[in-house]
Structure 1
Amino acid sequence: MKSICVYCGSSFGNQPHYAEAARALAQAMAARNLALVYGGGNVGLMGVIANEMLRLGGTVTGVIPKALMDKEVGHRGLTHTHIVKDMHERKAMMAELSDGFIAMPGGIGTLEELFEMLTWSQLDFHRKPIGVLNVDGFYAGLIGFLQQLVDNDFVKADQAALMMHEAEPDALLARLENWVPQKSTKLRDALAAQALFP
């Protein structure tokens, strides 16, 4: 891996350890000489991780829609900045530029980006590792809900396992680096189910 796409909040959240975790992730990435790809903002946790990576001499690439850049939430000091037409182009470019994905604490946008990458992975549209940094149990409810989807046969266990999770940046990065992609069974399973329930 050479670059990691990090999805995270444009807010700070209400606990200081979210920003501390963003800085810790930047430090762990810089120590591994991994570049950061992110949404290009200079606000919230987005700004925290970008600024820490830059402070450490790391490479930071931001991808931001023109409408957001014009509202002055775009970071002006990145290594590379791509100003794109809209959110769809932003997500596609971030995925293309990255060798793996990490979701930190964030809101609806962070979840949407995370689940799009999980969906693309289970359909074999990409074969890149995906993880969540489960800061102080932030993603515990989501992890539990994925298990509920497995228990109710809406998601296979191997598909749920695509979302790796760890509480510490070093442990999560190690898992992403050691991840071995498996051939997706999503479409095959859907066709088999269709034969059972025409």
Structure 2
Amino acid sequence: MKSICVYCGSNFGVRDSYLEAAHTGLSDLRVVGSMHERKSLMADLSDAFIALPGGLGTLEEFCEVATWTQLGFHRKACGLLNIEGFYDRLLSFLDYATEEKFIRPEHRAIFISEDNPVQLIEKLNNFDIPVLSKWLDQESIQNIDFHELIE
């Protein structure tokens, strides 16, 4: 793995540990004109993705690249740097959504979490990204009687 995209917010939150994790050893900084251009550039340049603690923008960008992995648009690992348990509630939600059959266990595994950056990168390097068929194909969707499901 040569290049990792790190998502971090424009705000460092309330804990010093969040600030300490961000912007250390930055090797490349690109300024772009739009969010769309930013996402496209980061996806093209990166071999993997890591989200540091952040807000809605961080979560949105990270979930998008994880969804791209799920859908097979790319085969890139996605990690959460879970500093002081910041992402524990998100991980619990993903576990619950998996239990409720909204997320396949193989897709849940796309979200790699670790509280140590070196160990997270090691996990990302060793992660074997699953190749799965979709739950429903076009023919299956066309054969569903949605009126019957509502009743």
Q: Please report the TM-score for the alignment, with normalisation by the length of structure 1.
A: 0.68
Amino acid at match of 2:83: V
Residue of structure 2 equivalent to 1:190: 136
Matched, 1:53 2:25: yes
| Aligned-residue CA RMSD (Å) | 1.7
Contact 1:147 1:160 in 2 (8 A): yes
Residue of structure 2 equivalent to 1:17: 17
Unaligned runs of 5+ in 2: 146-151
CA distance in 1, matches of 2:120, 2:144: 39
Amino acid at match of 1:166: E
Unaligned runs of 5+ in 1: 23-44, 55-59, 65-83
* Identical-residue share of aligned pairs (%): 44
The count of aligned residue pairs is: 144
> Secondary structure of 2:50's match?
strand
Q: Please report the TM-score for the alignment, with normalisation by the length of structure 2.
A: 0.88
Matched, 1:86 2:34: yes
Contact 2:47 2:76 in 1 (8 A): yes
> Secondary structure of 1:183's match?
coil
> Secondary structure of 1:2's match?
coil
Matched, 1:174 2:126: no
Contact 1:63 1:94 in 2 (8 A): no
- Name which of 95, 98, 106 aligns with 2:43: 95
Runs of 4+ in 1 over 3 A off after TM superposition: 192-198
- Name which of 24, 29, 32 aligns with 1:62: 29
CA offsets, 1:111-168, max 9 Å, x none? Answer: 0011000111111001011100000100000000001111111111111110100111
CA distance in 2, matches of 1:197, 1:141: 34
Amino acid at match of 1:171: Q
